[in-house]
Chain A
Amino acid sequence: MTQPLLEISNLHVAINGTEILHGINLTVNAGEVHAIMGTNGSGKSTLTKVIAGHPDYVVTSGDIKLRGVSILEQEPEDRARAGVFLAFQYPVEVPGVSNMYFLRTALNAHRKHRGQPELSGAEFLALVKEKARLVDIDAGLLNRSVNEGFSGGEKKRNEILQCACWNRHWRSWMKPTAAWTSMP
């Protein structure tokens, strides 16, 4: 039996002392696509944020394993570098930082983690162009500040672009959102 990609067992989570997840179990194998559905306030967003390591949430018991390794003690950036990608429901704006510069900085952080050399300017440009075509994102958005003044749809596309840039196998966690229905 192959090792599951993600394994969540008996996960209990609290925020400000109040328990909001009461024992979640979920196993995801490589190549599988899972959709988590539920009514408002049932904890879908919480679950994804906890997997990504949001500092507001406290795991009171249970475990989350990525490829057999518990990630509970890992910093959000370590989880991200290990392959966890959280597409934000409301992607955050970073004024004054060009999307291109941000993509490159983040990509290089991932490459450094994998022991790969940083990409040269030309190599990076080629990669971004290819990925931008793939997610059908307007090239003009690459030179604007991260998510600043982007439409809702553009922000979502930008999230997928980021995921495509450094997550080699797309085996990542996506945030389910209504906007996905409008994606081509």
Chain B
Amino acid sequence: MAQNESIQALTEQEYKHGWVTHIDADQVPAGLSEDVVRLISGKKNEPEWLLQWRLRAYRHWLTMKEPTWQKPHYPKIDYQSVIYYSAPKPKKELSSLDEVDPELLATFEKLGISLDEQKRLSGVATNVAVDVVFDSVSVKTTFQEELKKAGIIFCSFSEAVHNHPELVKKYLGTVVPFTDNFFATLNSAVFSDGSFCYIPKGVRCPMELSTYFRINSAGTGQFERTLLIADEGSHVSYLEGCTAPSRDENQLHAAVVELVALKGSTIKYSTVQNWYPGDKDGKGGVYNFVTKRGMAEQDAKLSWTQVETGSAITWKYPSCILKGDNSVGEFYSVAMTRDYQQADTGTKMIHIGRNTKSTIISKGISAGHGDQTYRGQVKILKSATGARNFSACDSLLLGDKCGAHTVPYIESNNAGAVIEHEASTSKISDEQIFFLRQRGLSEEDAVNLIVNGFCKDVLSELPMEFAVEAQKLLGLKLEGAVG
């Protein structure tokens, strides 16, 4: 009993990124209509084909119903009260396109994201190129010139539409069509910015690419879209991070990420999601409805790694369509829910090609009144001779008011396929904590050590810089009022 209370105390701590940047914003009025879609497209000076694509998505969305099969419950979202576009307005006329409003620079500095290319991470061998998205627009992308030398295109989605329309047109919606699902379709109609990346044939991207998303304005939704194309035999590792101010109302985030892994290429996509989770009574927080999917051609490899610690609601299933023979899909996930957070997350592995392989490692940690569900689908098509899947879903419960659920859907249409599924649910035992305290660790450090051990298989998949970050984040999340 006493132990439960202390664990609960440990898992309650303040959200560190809850502050707001005071900056004027260029916003469209709240609400959604064809006019708003045209307005967003117009603000971005988009070509006619893209406007038409958005409008088709919007009209399709009107015919769709919000999904209800997920476990998290939330009050009905009023889509007419959301602001669909909000861009920071610079205080003064900026002299060049490369110049960034100092207010925004300061915002990202405060978040620990340096937009100064001179300031490379000290003591870290690899560099990270960053694209930062503030509300509805990309503010700056670093190291573009350096990447260009290798033929790599890394820029905001809007820039890509103007500078590389042939690539955008060819791949947009090929992995997540605009008819895909309620939230992806909404995103297709109103997406404002995001990152675009193209790695040419045979190129191994020399640095980590990353996008940092920040929601700032009140009442706005963020609808970004990321499109990443790895051409034949190329290799890229990509990271994304996200935070938002603490606000009493719920904010909507509906993103789409499409990965195209052409023959023999590898895409490693890592996420550290730390949107505002709401306060300890469950007030406020981001509703995170995200569609992420990759398509792997022959011999290609897609690897998703996610650390989900934020958001009031997380609804997210990064998936792999293993279309080509010998293609490989991986999903490594740590999701932590505390207070009144709810997460429904998992993956889909669709095996189409022969000898396709997939691995799913999911770790869920629930504390407080947190509730989470692993929801995953493994589907082996008739064509996928020699397909293999291994899934392991482990849940760790801290305290006795939280919940963990595992919902695996497994469908095999090929008798030769090998599918393995393991699941476990455990509680941090009082004996474990006593043992570690007897060895001189504080109760807080003891819980942290156990949680870190539990997540090790996933954290070790993250790129170095992010692994440390994620470990700290999990630690922070569990930090008590002590110290």
Binding site for B on A (CB under 8 A): 52-56, 75-77, 80-81, 84-86, 88, 91-92, 94-97, 102, 105-106, 109-110, 113, 145, 162, 166
Contacts and interface: CB of A to CB of B under 8 A. Distances in A.
Nearest to A109: B440
B441 A95 contact: no
A76 B437 CA distance: 6
Contacts of B455: 96
Given A96-B454, A97-B452, A55 B3 contact: yes
A113 B442 CA distance: 11
Contact of B450 (A75, A94, A162): A94
Q: State the majority secondary structure of interface residues on A.
A: mixed
Contacts of B3: 55
Closest 10 CB pairs of A and B: A96-B453, A97-B453, A96-B456, A92-B435, A76-B437, A109-B440, A106-B439, A80-B440, A77-B437, A110-B440
A88 B437 CA distance: 13
A103 B365 CA distance: 25
Interface in B1-58: 2-3
Q: State the majority secondary structure of interface residues on B.
A: helix
Contacts of A55: 2-3, 430, 434
Contacts of A85: 438
Contact of A97 (B2, B438, B450, B457): B450
- Is the interface on chain B under 10, 10 to 19, 20 to 34, or 35 or more residues? 20 to 34
B452 A76 contact: no
Given A77-B443, A96-B454, A96-B456, A86 B438 contact: yes
Contact of B442 (A53, A56, A77, A88): A77
A77 B441 contact: yes
Contact of A80 (B2, B429, B437, B454): B437
Nearest to A166: B440
B432 interface: yes
B431 interface: yes
Contacts of A88: 435, 438
Given A55-B434, A96-B452, A162 B2 contact: no
A162 B438 CA distance: 11
Given A96-B454, A97-B450, A109-B445, A77 B440 contact: yes
A80 B432 CA distance: 15
23 contacts: A52-B438, A53-B437, A53-B438, A55-B2, A55-B434, A75-B437, A76-B434, A77-B438, A77-B441, A77-B443, A80-B439, A91-B435, A92-B429, A94-B435, A94-B436, A94-B449, A97-B450, A105-B441, A106-B441, A109-B439, A109-B441, A109-B442, A109-B445
Contacts of A52: 434, 438
Contacts of A95: 453-454
B393 to A, nearest CB: 15
Interface in B97-115: none
A92 B432 contact: yes
Contact of B439 (A54, A113, A162): A162
Among A56, A77, A85, A166, max chain B CB count under 10 A is at A77
A75 B455 CA distance: 28
B449 A102 contact: yes
A105 B442 CA distance: 11
A81 B454 CA distance: 26
Given A55-B3, A76-B434, A97 B449 contact: yes
Contacts of A166: 440
Contacts of A91: 435
Contact of B438 (A80, A96, A105, A113): A80
B326 to A, nearest CB: 31
Nearest to A165: B439
Nearest to A101: B449
A113 B449 CA distance: 19
